[in-house]
Amino acid sequence: MALGPQQRTPLEQAIPTGAAEPQTSRTAQKVVAHVAELRRVHEAFAWFRVSARELEDIQLEVTAIPAPPWGEAARSQWLKPRFEDAGLADVHQDELGNVFGIRPGTDLSASYVALSAHIDTVFPAETPINVSRNDGKLHGPGISDNASGITALLAIANVLRQTNIGNSAPILFIGNVGEEGEGNLRGMRHIFEQAKWFDSIRALVALDGAGTDTIITEGLGSRRYEITVRGTGGHSWSDFGVPNPIVALARIIDHFDRTTVPNTPKTTFNIGTVQGGTSVNSIPQVSTMRVDTRSASLEQLDRLERALRDAVKEGIAETSGRKKDNLLTSEILVIGDRPAADLAADSHLLKVIRAVDVQLNNNARIQRASTDANIPLSLGREAIAIGAGGSGGGAHTVNEWYDPAGRDLGLKRILLLTLALSGVSEE
């Protein structure tokens, strides 16, 4: 996952730490308390404790399998038989490599409660992957983000089988591709583009990274663009006067940079790279730049896009020649698009996770980030992203680590949430 800039400014957060009470409906609390009292749920909690070492082994094993953006096939192949071993039904993979498994429920007409974990990493294929266990901690690139989420996904599927807890609504387990960076949420996007899944998933809980102290309910939106300006180019002396794509780009940047953005909702833009030209005595034929825009508000992202398109028009108009052989042309390519969206403050999912946190005496705060939950949220579905327990650091670096101390709190939290959402069928 990629955390938004708001993560370190608690004052801006929608719900301050410790304000769980007003969000928690009494019914949600009763449902969660009831689930937590079940004998089989107690057995599940015990299973998390005794399986600690086994879960670490799984986490080390999956971390060792490279899963660069657009190259997750080996992980998909690894995950499928593990879903089968956990007793999931209809285990299969779609054309992108997303892996699915279903734990059927007793209510045959109910829609799915979905639990997902992204299986991709940020690391390019050539990254050396060294995994190790040292001083009780696990080390390796991707060990926390998101091998801990994948491990939690498998732990929940396995514990349901081991303890034979009966869920009322069916539970859909998803290991999805394409969450990180260039993946641009393509795995989750594809899933929700299928009518079959869009119509049948009532809520999605994305397990992403370590921890138990956050609830990500606000999808930070981002859009990225590549702007290319082209001209005929020529010799700096003999073709002097031919419109220059680098000059046009400079004018475009100047216009765009004057765009004002609000502090609330926080909205940002950045010219990240500029390229063009071949030599000092050539009028360039091409110039390009890459632009990143971010906001929690879709309107602001749209407004920035209009400002960018206007800036391109103006910069070209001010620089281009009039005749056919010295015109400048421009192209605007959207190279990334993550929708912005929020979970409603009165949503059922938020009430239930708040109730779970009260039950477990866990303190969690609302955060904004760009995760797989952005996709269902942008489509009006209930979704959150939460951590898999334990703690981690060095995310997106080869020095990433994971400390399994406290993992069982994370797993209890995920289990109670899942069962409170699905309902439990009593024996």
Residues found near Zn ion in the complex (CB under 5 A): 1, 145-146, 208
**Residues paired with residue 29 on neighbouring β-strands, in sequence order:** none
CB closest to Zn ion, residue no? 1
Q: How far is CA 66 from the centre of its chain?
A: 19
CB of residue 352 vs Zn ion: minimum separation in angstroms? Answer: 23
Cβ closer to Zn ion: 98 or 267? 98
3-class state of residue 255 by DSSP: helix
Cβ closer to Zn ion: 145 or 382? 145
Who contacts 393 (Cβ-Cβ below 8 Å, separation ≥6)? 144, 400, 401
Q: How far is CA 74 from the centre of its chain?
A: 21
Q: Are 150 and 117 in contact (CB under 8 A)?
A: yes
What region does 110 belong to: left with phi over 0, alpha with psi -120 to 50, or beta? beta
Cβ closer to Zn ion: 371 or 378? 371
CB of residue 253 vs Zn ion: minimum separation in angstroms? Answer: 32
Identify the DSSP state of 389. B
Cβ closer to Zn ion: 56 or 208? 208
CB of residue 168 vs Zn ion: minimum separation in angstroms? Answer: 30
Distance CA 157, CA 101 (A): 9
CB of residue 1 vs Zn ion: minimum separation in angstroms? Answer: 4
Cis peptide before 326 (omega within 30 of 0): no
CB of residue 99 vs Zn ion: minimum separation in angstroms? Answer: 16
Distance CA 414, CA 152 (A): 8
Cβ closer to Zn ion: 146 or 184? 146
Cβ closer to Zn ion: 357 or 400? 400
CB of residue 36 vs Zn ion: minimum separation in angstroms? Answer: 28
